[in-house]
Amino acid sequence: MPLKHITPSEAKKLVDEGAVLIDVREAYEHVAENIPGSRNAPLSRLGRGAIGGTKLVFFCKSGARTRMNARALADCSEAEAYILDGGIEAWKAAGLPVKRG
């Protein structure tokens, strides 16, 4: 099933309702800067059925990695899943909080 692309404000609303943010960047990128409460699950390590949860919002730096790997991301969980358009950069541009390493 294709993943729906959502805005930072839509992602924030889903997170407030219990969705889990999944950072698909590499661990060193996540440590340097991340969205508070997000889980790191690098694309390089994802496998089928690897991520649990009922609603997931995937993100990377700019959205390019998540768009290019949408099929693999959809396959890694049975959860309802979304892609954060623009990644963490769009999240920051929307004035939402980030944590720096």
| 10-39 tens-digit pLDDT | 999 999 999 999 999 999 999 999 999 999
Q: What is the pLDDT of residue 44?
A: 85
pLDDT tens per residue across span 61-88: 999 999 999 988 888 888 899 999 999 9
Q: Which amino acid is at 62?
A: S
Please give the full DSSP string across 48-71, using - where no structure is assigned: TT----SEEEEE-SSSHHHHHTHH
Report whether 55 contacts 49 (CB < 8 A).
Answer: no
**Which member of 60, 76, 81, 88 is catalytic?**
60
pLDDT at 1 over 70: no
Mean pLDDT, rounded, of the chain: 92
Measuring CA to CA, how many Å separate 31 from each of 40, 46, 52?
9, 18, 22
Q: What CATH architecture is 4-100?
A: 3-Layer(aba) Sandwich (3.40)
Q: Where are the domains of the chain?
A: 4-100
Task: Confirm whether 60 is a catalytic residue.
Answer: yes
* Coil, strand or helix at 5: strand
Please report the pLDDT score of residue 80 as a whole number: 92
How far, in Å, are 6, 35, 53, 71, 84 from residue 50 at the CA level? 22, 21, 10, 14, 19
